[in-house]
């Protein structure tokens, strides 16, 4: 069993590396000769026990130890170049996942550099060799701005900010929570807040699979270049939206052709999803008469998969808030990255995941399939329509469901929902196919409603 980490689920490449650049291994021979780094005791930075289960006194001692270590290793006159290399060594020595990527982002955040370019600028700094080339050297391969940044020191405010960020990372807090944003698909700077799951790069692959299906459906309807009325929009249901990454990425790609409804049990997740929708989709409003407001393109609501039903008995138990008593269904595609980690595997999660991200968004029950079963049970109702007009217009179209799952699930689901099997006939859902992620692991399943 490979360990789950906060920057990815099962030893995946860091999203920034995956999206932009090859992995970089820092060169220790260019480090300044600061004192050897002492390793904090397990009572200071535990990896498998709770960071918050110790007494207040122990917690204060741990924080004091971390602050003292950082202050000792990074003197006041340290340059950005020195800080980058020393901090990477410090995180690496404390067994923090992806130390180099963490430091690049933290320093960029402390310096308030541009989100898209600051990371790249610091990566160029870290590639420099000592001694720095002279400004007049005709063989200089690095820009003057890179050399200037490398020689820069921190102001007192920047130093306090950076030390605070570094201290949080040493305590295994996920990088995405510390800097408060992350890139996902073509969404640059998606807002991230705990305890919602940090977006993973393999989930971008799930989005791409859904996009390919939408393209096929649009071609079938011959609407790619036509004026797309709201009642012809492809309706997408995102179950367990979290930050809103999946549904917003799809809506951002097809603003004229889709309408996304997203669900989550956690009100904070619904608020964050709608906040991110405003951030990324509001600029599309007014460009075309088909996008009247963000809500016509994307809307997240507080609801579980089990509760999204028009069954009278189930509806009576729903806390409606601002939901309608009866839900509009008729979804063309359902997509979900549900809680899927089997209960027995939760103990293998690394500290940055188990201590910070939502347990309910990670654990899928004994076999990891609890929410998956709820989704499968509801699929026929979600994809049905009470409107004769809709039934006629969409007659003959197969409705699909895409899910990201544990690598043990595709084989189990293939047996459970095999075409023609009793369970498949009873539920009205068939297993279509499974797909591997970019690391070669069974990660995605496609189901169809029959």
Closest CA to 175 of 110, 244, 276, 106: 106
Q: Which residues contact 321 (CB under 8 A, 6 or more apart)?
A: 302
Q: Say which DSSP state 445 is in.
A: E
Q: Say which DSSP state 5 is in.
A: B
The whole-model pTM stands at: 0.81
d(CA 344, CA 226): 51
CA distances to 27, 111, 159, 176, 427 from 122, in Å? 15, 11, 16, 18, 54
d(CA 306, CA 370): 11
Q: Name residue 430's beta-bridge partners.
A: 448
**Do residues 98 and 7 touch, judged by C-beta distance below 8 A?**
yes
**Residue 225, number of CB atoms within 10 A of its CB:** 7
- Helix H or strand E encompassing 204: helix 201-221
Residue 328 is encoded by which pair of tokens?
A: 């509009």
Across the beta sheet with 234-239, the strand order is 298-302, 258-264, 234-239, 333-336, 400-404, 442-449, 429-436
**Do residues 174 and 7 touch, judged by C-beta distance below 8 A?**
yes
**Residue 132, number of CB atoms within 10 A of its CB:** 16
d(CA 241, CA 205): 16
**Do residues 2 and 11 touch, judged by C-beta distance below 8 A?**
yes
d(CA 159, CA 170): 16
> What is the pLDDT tens value at each position of the chain, 450 positions in all?
333 333 433 333 333 333 322 222 223 333 333 333 333 333 333 333 333 334 455 555 556 688 888 988 899 999 999 999 999 999 999 999 899 999 999 999 999 999 989 999 999 999 887 776 665 554 445 688 889 999 999 999 999 999 999 999 999 999 999 999 999 999 999 999 998 999 999 999 999 999 999 999 998 887 545 554 545 789 999 999 999 999 999 999 999 999 999 999 999 999 999 999 999 999 988 776 667 789 999 999 999 999 999 886 655 544 444 444 468 899 999 999 999 999 999 999 988 899 999 999 999 999 999 999 999 999 999 998 755 455 445 556 899 999 999 999 999 999 999 999 999 999 999 999 999 999 999 999 999 999
Question: Would you mind telling me the total number of residues written for the chain in this entry?
Answer: 450
**Residue written as token pair 């009873």:** 426
- The gap from C-alpha 133 to its chain's centroid, in whole angstroms, comes to 40
Extended beta strands in 309-425, E state: 333-336, 400-404
**Residue 377, number of CB atoms within 10 A of its CB:** 15
């Amino acid at each position: 069993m490979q360990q789950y980490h906060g920057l990815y689920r099962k030893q995946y490449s860091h999203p920034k590396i995956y999206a932009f650049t090859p992995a970089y291994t820092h060169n220790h021979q260019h480090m300044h000769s600061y004192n050897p780094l002492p390793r904090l005791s397990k009572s200071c930075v535990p990896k498998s026990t709770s960071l918050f289960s110790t007494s207040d006194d122990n917690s204060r001692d741990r924080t004091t130890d971390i602050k003292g270590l950082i202050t000792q290793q990074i003197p006041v006159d340290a340059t950005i170049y020195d800080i980058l290399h020393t901090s990477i060594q410090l995180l690496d020595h404390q067994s923090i996942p992806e130390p180099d990527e963490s430091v690049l982002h933290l320093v960029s955040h402390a310096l308030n550099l541009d989100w898209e370019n600051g990371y790249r600028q610091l990566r160029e700094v870290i590639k420099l060799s000592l001694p720095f080339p002279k400004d007049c050297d005709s063989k200089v391969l690095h820009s003057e701005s890179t050399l200037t940044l490398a020689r820069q020191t921190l102001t007192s405010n920047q130093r306090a900010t950076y030390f605070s960020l570094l201290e949080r990372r040493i305590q295994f807090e996920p990088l995405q929570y510390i800097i408060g944003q992350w890139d996902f698909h073509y969404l640059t700077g998606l807002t991230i807040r705990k305890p919602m799951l940090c977006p993973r790069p393999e989930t971008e692959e799930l989005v791409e699979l859904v996009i390919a299906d939408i393209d096929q459906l649009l071609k079938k309807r011959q609407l790619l270049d036509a004026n797309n009325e709201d009642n012809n929009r492809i309706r997408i249901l995102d179950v367990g939206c979290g930050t809103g990454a999946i549904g917003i990425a799809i809506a951002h790609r097809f603003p004229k052709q889709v309408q996304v409804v997203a669900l989550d049990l956690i009100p904070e997740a619904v608020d964050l999803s709608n906040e991110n929708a405003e951030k990324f989709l509001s600029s599309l409003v007014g460009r075309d008469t088909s996008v009247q407001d963000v809500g016509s393109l994307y809307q997240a609501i507080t609801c579980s998969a089990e509760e999204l039903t028009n069954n009278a008995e189930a509806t009576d138990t729903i806390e409606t808030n601002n939901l309608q008593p009866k839900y509009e269904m008729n979804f063309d595609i359902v997509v979900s990255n549900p809680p899927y980690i089997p209960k027995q595997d939760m103990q293998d999660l690394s500290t940055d995941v188990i201590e910070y991200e939502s347990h309910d968004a990670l654990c899928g029950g004994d076999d990891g399939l609890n929410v998956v079963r709820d989704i499968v049970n509801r699929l026929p109702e979600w994809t049905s329509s009470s409107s004769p007009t809709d039934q006629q217009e969409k007659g003959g179209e197969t409705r699909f469901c895409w899910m990201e799952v544990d690598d043990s699930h595709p084989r189990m689901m293939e047996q459970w929902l095999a075409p023609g099997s009793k369970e498949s006939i009873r539920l009205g859902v068939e297993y279509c196919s499974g797909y591997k992620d970019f690391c070669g692991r069974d990660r995605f399943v496609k189901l169809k409603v029959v």
